[in-house]
Structure 1
Amino acid sequence: MSRISIPEYAMALAHVASMRSEDPYRKVGAAALDFDNRVIGTAYNGLAPGFNAPPGFWDDREARQKFMLHAEVNLCSLFRRGEAKIIATTTMPCTACMQTLCAYGIKEIYYRDIYHASDAPEIARLYSVKLEQVEFTPFDGTVGPVA
């Protein structure tokens, strides 16, 4: 068996993190690696830590969307500017998240799924950030003991 690449490794971590998201519509995970390809952290989209959603909160996607913290924002709370080199996220960063990642000095961003409503490609070109799609899912997403 051959060894997976660093972007695939980071994407596998992001994929696993996405499985923790409580959002029934879109589960997004992200992972950060430092300049030695060591894991700094993983994160996923969801509500602020310690907030318990009231009954019915998840029923209306549009009403709750403004309260969701994006995986990239949660991830950036785990490191300081200049500490991370690589970010992998299961969905291309939205425009605001791409701006945030650039402000944190990220040099390489890998994503699996395209997000068409994002200006990320244009922002990446302006700031000379490598933005590349990595079509890698480490497993089928089922959870449970291996038979």
Structure 2
Amino acid sequence: MADMKPSDEEHGDVDTLAKNLCSTQLRSPNKARADYVKWEDYFMSLAALSAMRSKDPNTQVGAAIVTRDHKVVGLGYNGMPIGCHDDIMPWGKNGEDISKTKYGFVCHAEMNAIMNKNMHDISGSTLYTTHFPCNECAKLVVQARITQVVYLHHKKPKDPMYIASAFLLDTAGIRYRQFQAEKPYLIINFS
């Protein structure tokens, strides 16, 4: 007789199984689901999914701009400017000549989200970004009158570029905070 116990690989640990069982049992076809994705998780997921579009071999960053009434009005990821073929542009990080590294060319996710916005005025919006914005992107955030930045990672808080960014955001009265997920992960299943 076959072992009927599900493997950890197939179904996760006991806690995950219990949560999934409880959430399934609590669902009713006549009531709204309680296990839906919360707004914050949804918006940061869009930023993370956008980051997956980046062809940068070292760092993938994504950003989403969201209005006060939860409308997504801009998405972006780090990549080469429009019309610059990715295969002929430099993607390296190291070198003294900026024209031979990605740093002279790559448009940051925050810049692309602002440039790709689908409405004229994004003042009062929130920027969800996978990485704390650099000082150049912070300037764009201020100029766009975005009022809040929610970031997933802040990998170099002591780097002068990010100290300048925090100072600029503070000076402009723009709130920023690290993202706190409601769910530790979201899975997209296309089947």
TM-score of Structure 1 vs Structure 2, range by shorter chain = 0.7 to 0.9
Which structure has more RCO (C-alpha within 8 Å, separation ≥ 6)?
A: 1
What residue number does 1:106 align with? Answer: 146
Query: Matches of 1:7 and 1:85 in 2, distance apart?
Result: 13
The answer as to whether partners of 2:76 and 2:112 remain within 8 angstroms in 1 is: yes
| Post-superposition CA distance 1:94-136 (Å, at most 9, x none) | 0110111011100111000104231332222211111010144
Change in Cα spacing, 1:4 to 1:145, as seen in structure 2 (3 Å) is closer
Query: Matches of 1:71 and 1:92 in 2, distance apart?
Result: 11
What residue number does 2:50 align with? Answer: 17
Instruction: Give the greater-gyration-radius structure (CA).
Output: 2
What residue number does 1:42 align with? Answer: 75
Which 5+ residue runs of structure 1 have no aligned equivalent?
A: none
| % identical aligned pairs | 24
- 1:64 pairs, out of 87, 91, 102, with 102
The answer as to whether partners of 1:94 and 1:115 remain within 8 angstroms in 2 is: no
Secondary structure of the structure 2 residue equivalent to 1:61: coil
Change in Cα spacing, 1:35 to 1:56, as seen in structure 2 (3 Å) is closer
Q: What letter corresponds to residue 170 of structure 2 in structure 1?
A: R
Q: What letter corresponds to residue 136 of structure 2 in structure 1?
A: A
Verify: 1:123 aligned to 2:168, yes or no: yes
Secondary structure of the structure 1 residue equivalent to 2:53: coil
| Post-superposition CA distance 1:52-105 (Å, at most 9, x none) | 1345833x2232222110011111112334445111000000011011101110
Change in Cα spacing, 1:88 to 1:75, as seen in structure 2 (3 Å) is same
The answer as to whether partners of 1:93 and 1:115 remain within 8 angstroms in 2 is: no
Q: Aligned-pair RMSD on alpha carbons?
A: 2.4
Secondary structure of the structure 1 residue equivalent to 2:85: coil
Q: What letter corresponds to residue 57 of structure 2 in structure 1?
A: P
Change in Cα spacing, 1:56 to 1:132, as seen in structure 2 (3 Å) is closer
Query: Matches of 1:97 and 1:46 in 2, distance apart?
Result: 14
Q: TM-score, normalised by structure 1?
A: 0.83
The answer as to whether partners of 1:10 and 1:88 remain within 8 angstroms in 2 is: yes
Query: Matches of 2:43 and 2:62 in 1, distance apart?
Result: 10
Change in Cα spacing, 1:24 to 1:85, as seen in structure 2 (3 Å) is same
Secondary structure of the structure 1 residue equivalent to 2:69: coil
